[in-house]
Amino acid sequence: MAHEHDHDHEHDHDHGHDEAAVDEEARAEAEADARRRLALAQIRQYGDPALRLKAHEVAEFDDDLHRLVDRMVALMHDAQGIGLAATQVGVLRRLFVFQPDPNEDARVIVNPVISERDDETASDEEGCLSLQGVRVPVDRAVHVVLEGKDAHGEDLRLELDDYAARIVQHELDHLDGVLIIDRTNDEHRKEALGILRPRAVIG
Ligand SMILES: [Zn+2]
């Protein structure tokens, strides 16, 4: 899942900030941009068949799985996303990483299931690292209980509300080959498909 950038670090050009600090900030931003583009190039994009496949249960909680988790967390951070499912990196295994709060560590859940789901839903705009340039409103349950395993095979049970609940429903959809354009209304779907339609290449 992609997130809105918080451009709330206001630059005060009138006082303070010497030129070196501004240059430093501009370079850091350019580097973050370059890292984001590199990460997005490694994340499957709309039209890739892997995004439409159903992932399989994970049976082995081994080093191979841990390496995959590390890679997914790094990609999610570099891409400046708040969630990433294994299918988005072309791996058909049931796990995803997510980070609703930037001040807390990224979390991973393996073989996730939603065991409880509120009837109450809310609509909000969602983006997706695999559908760049698209934001569509999606209805989600505002409270869910997510159960599964951690990367070592230990039981995990998370009670999640609002934003965090939205993220895990989005990521769980990915493991079943479901995308936000399947969950939005006709009008927004049509608009999104217009953005995603591959441009004809001439010459
Ligand atoms: Zn997504």
pLDDT digits (tens, 9 = 90+) for 14-68: 555 678 888 999 999 999 999 999 999 999 999 999 999 999 999 999 999 999 9
From the options 3.40.605.10, 2.40.30.10, 3.90.45.10, 3.40.50.2300, give the CATH code of 19-196: 3.90.45.10
Q: Where is 78: in which H helix or E strand? A: helix 63-78
Ligand 1: centre distance to CA 172 (Å): 9
Q: Of the ranges 54-58, 69-73, 112-116, 194-198, which one carries the lowest mean pLDDT score?
A: 194-198
What is the distance of C-alpha 159 from the center of its chain? 19
Ligand 1: centre distance to CA 188 (Å): 16
DSSP 67: H
Return the domain boundaries, the chain: 19-196
pLDDT digits (tens, 9 = 90+) for 125-137: 999 999 999 999 9
Q: Considering only CA atoms, which of 108, 129, 112 is closest in space to residue 48?
A: 129
DSSP 53: S
Res 4 pLDDT > 90: no
> What is the distance in angstroms between the CA of the first residue and the CA of the last residue of the chain?
35
Measured CA to CA, the distance from residue 198 to residue 3 in angstroms comes to: 23
Ligand 1: centre distance to CA 122 (Å): 18
User: For ligand 1, a single-atom ion, which residues have Cβ within 5 Å?
Assistant: 1, 128
Ligand 1: centre distance to CA 94 (Å): 14
What pLDDT is stored for residue 9 in this prediction? 52
Indicate the pTM of the whole model: 0.87
**Active-site entry in 25, 171, 187, 191:** 171
Q: Is 171 a catalytic residue?
A: yes
